[in-house]
């Protein structure tokens, strides 16, 4: 049984949690992407070079990424030859299979958060201004609070106007601990915040940081200093450094991931605003181009609209109209 058929069987049983969120959140991408695939299948009933050319264009427009598209097409050509596939409808099922396999890959990337079993789990949040980083921190705080964790927020973005106040508002909304000071050294604020978080016996500590990527040297020095401070307080911390990317920026988001990865140890990606874009294919492009797992995805503005990433739910949400 192929992966395509397995997906159909799994989701007929509605056994996946949050599947409705994935269906609704990926609607724009699915409407744009799958409708074009369906039309392509009507235009070409048999696999041909012209079919491959149009398929390549559709995949690139979905922001899957040029390298990923070429890799996918190579795999499709190989399977068409080996399995003697001529019907484009049958090839549609192979596309679903291969996209899943591209994300899973040979190198297993965990989409789970690395939790500290002997103390607070420290999660450092990075990303350029305007991608929804502070909002994401608030939603993560709410998520962990609902799971019964004691959560604490630290405002390390100390110089951007309103950043500390904005994070404090989210802390109050989620009813979690908070520490922040404006216009002062971020590492010093984080030091004091960690002391308070440990005094309050926090389980999860979420730390906001500045997003001044245009000054990479300065940001690198700041993040190095922050990492040293965190590591002195909690051994092995930060346990996660999550990069927040606005999904609607498409390939620009890939560039941000590459830039941040070059200046600090990114462990995972949070994709925001996925419901507002037709560029949902960026999930595959991030994995292929940057080699980082997506750990959370945002499907809306509500407090509970941030979901843990699940590749099977994602593939289903993207291709349900083909299944």
Nearest-angstrom CA–CA distance, 156 and 163 = 9
| Whole-number pLDDT of residue 14 | 46
**Residue 44: inside a domain, yes or no?**
yes
pLDDT, mean of residues 264-290: 89
| Whole-number pLDDT of residue 315 | 85
Same domain for 182 and 92? no
**Residue 130: inside a domain, yes or no?**
yes
Same domain for 141 and 277? yes
Give tens-digit pLDDT for 193-243: 999 999 999 999 999 999 887 778 888 999 999 999 999 999 999 999 999
CATH number, domain of 58, equals 1.20.120.140
CATH number, domain of 192, equals 3.40.50.300
Nearest-angstrom CA–CA distance, 282 and 60 = 10
Same domain for 22 and 81? yes
Given 77, 104, 131, the domain boundary residue is 104
Band of residue 13 on the pLDDT scale cut at 50, 70, 90: very low
Given 58, 73, 104, the domain boundary residue is 104
| Whole-number pLDDT of residue 67 | 85
| Whole-number pLDDT of residue 16 | 57
Same domain for 146 and 293? yes
Exposure string of 211-247, with b = 16+ CB inside 10 Å and e = fewer, is bebeeeeebeebbeebbebbeebbeebbbbbbbbbbb
**Residue 221: inside a domain, yes or no?**
yes
| Whole-number pLDDT of residue 214 | 74
Band of residue 4 on the pLDDT scale cut at 50, 70, 90: low
Among 12-16, 18-22, 164-168, 318-322, the minimum mean pLDDT is found in 12-16
* Closest to 135 measured CA to CA, from 161, 114, 153, 112: 153
Same domain for 70 and 138? no
pLDDT at 27 over 80: yes
Higher pLDDT: 92 or 46? It is 46
Q: What would you measure as the largest C-alpha separation in the chain, in angstroms?
A: 67
Which residues span the domain enclosing 266?
Answer: 121-310
DSSP state of 296: E
pTM over 0.95: no
Same domain for 130 and 91? no
Same domain for 161 and 62? no
pLDDT at 280 over 90: no
Give tens-digit pLDDT for 285-318: 888 888 899 999 999 888 888 999 988 888 888 8
**Residue 316: inside a domain, yes or no?**
no
pLDDT at 17 over 70: no
**Number of folded domains that form the chain:** 2
pLDDT, mean of residues 163-183: 96
Band of residue 9 on the pLDDT scale cut at 50, 70, 90: low
Same domain for 171 and 263? yes
180 burial class (0-12, 13-18, 19+ CB within 10 angstroms)? buried
Same domain for 176 and 74? no
The mean pLDDT value of the chain amounts to: 89
Same domain for 280 and 186? yes
**Residue 158: inside a domain, yes or no?**
yes
Angle at which helices 311-319 and 27-43 pack, to 10 degrees? 50
**Residue 110: inside a domain, yes or no?**
no
Contacts 24+ apart (CB under 8 A), 228-232: 228/187, 229/187, 229/190, 229/191, 229/194, 230/122, 230/124, 230/190, 230/194
Give tens-digit pLDDT for 95-110: 888 888 887 775 556 6
Same domain for 31 and 143? no
Among 56-65, 80-89, 132-141, 261-270, the minimum mean pLDDT is found in 56-65
**Residue 155: inside a domain, yes or no?**
yes
**Residue 90: inside a domain, yes or no?**
yes
Same domain for 53 and 140? no
| Whole-number pLDDT of residue 15 | 46
| Whole-number pLDDT of residue 276 | 87
| Whole-number pLDDT of residue 81 | 94
């Amino acid at each position: 049984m192929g992966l395509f058929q397995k997906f159909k069987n799994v989701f007929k049983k509605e056994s996946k949690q949050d599947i409705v969120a994935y269906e609704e959140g990926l609607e724009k991408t699915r409407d744009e992407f799958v409708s074009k695939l369906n039309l392509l299948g009507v235009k070409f009933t048999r696999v041909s070079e012209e079919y491959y050319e149009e398929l390549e264009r559709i995949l690139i427009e979905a922001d899957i990424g040029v390298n990923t598209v070429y890799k996918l097409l190579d795999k499709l050509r190989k399977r068409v030859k080996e399995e003697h596939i001529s019907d484009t409808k049958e090839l549609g099922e192979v596309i679903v299979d291969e996209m899943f396999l591209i994300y899973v890959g040979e190198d297993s990337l965990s989409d789970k958060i690395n939790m500290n079993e002997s103390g607070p789990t420290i999660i450092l949040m990075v990303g350029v201004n305007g991608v929804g980083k502070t909002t994401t921190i608030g939603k993560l705080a709410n998520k962990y609070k609902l799971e019964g964790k004691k959560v604490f927020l630290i405002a390390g973005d100390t110089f951007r106007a309103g950043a500390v106040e904005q994070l404090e508002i989210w802390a109050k909304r989620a009813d979690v601990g908070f520490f922040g000071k404006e216009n002062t050294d971020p590492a010093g604020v984080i030091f004091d915040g960690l002391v308070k978080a440990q005094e309050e016996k926090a389980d999860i500590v979420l730390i906001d940081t500045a997003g001044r990527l245009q000054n990479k040297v300065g940001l690198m020095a700041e993040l190095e200093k922050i990492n040293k401070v965190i590591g002195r307080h909690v051994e092995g911390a930060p346990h996660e450094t999550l990069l927040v990317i606005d999904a609607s920026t498409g390939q620009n988001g890939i560039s941000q991931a590459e830039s941040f990865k070059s200046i600090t140890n990114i462990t995972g990606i949070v994709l925001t605003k996925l419901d507002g874009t037709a560029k949902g294919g960026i999930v595959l492009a991030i994995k292929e181009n940057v080699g980082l797992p997506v750990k959370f995805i945002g499907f809306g503005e509500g407090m509970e609209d941030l979901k843990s990433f699940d590749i099977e739910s994602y593939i289903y949400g993207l291709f349900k109209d083909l299944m």
